[in-house]
Amino acid sequence: MEKTLKEIVSILSSHRESYSFHLYSERGSDWTTPLQHPLFLDPTKHYEIALISLETFYSIPNIRDDNNVFVYSTDKGNSFYFLIIPVGSYELGQINDVITNDVGTLIEIKPNPATLHSIIKISDANVQLT
């Protein structure tokens, strides 16, 4: 085990200006990424790699023309208001900001990271959502 750890340290501590690591998926998507330090691997051995995290900007709109209308009432359902949220790629806090700008603090939307659901808090008994 100690020998294996020393090999890994040796591999990871090798320096070179840049290195390109090519990732391939079964579905035909090709990914290339530059690495700061090269990995020198023994070609006679079998290696596997895992993707631990991928951070990327939202590039696919989650608010579209077919789901961008927020309907609410502030008078127990006697009259309803329609808030049209512009099409875009929103995080939950940004959606909350758009609604708060229109409705005020009567409605708050926030994430529940433990369940990956959202929480809608209504602070006035007269407010209704459809």
Query: Which position has the higher pLDDT, 16 or 86?
Result: 86
User: Residues 96-105: pLDDT tens digits?
Assistant: 999 999 999 9
CB 19 within 8 A of CB 37: yes
How is the chain split among helix, strand and coil, in percent rounded to 5? Answer: 20, 30, 55
- Give tens-digit pLDDT for 18-53: 444 555 555 656 666 666 667 778 888 887 777 666
**Element at 102 (helix H, strand E):** helix 92-103
CA 11/CA 49 separation, integer angstroms: 14
Q: How far is CA 99 from CA 114, 126, 128, in A?
A: 24, 17, 14
- What is the distance between the alpha carbons of residues 123 and 128, in angstroms, rounded to a whole number? 11
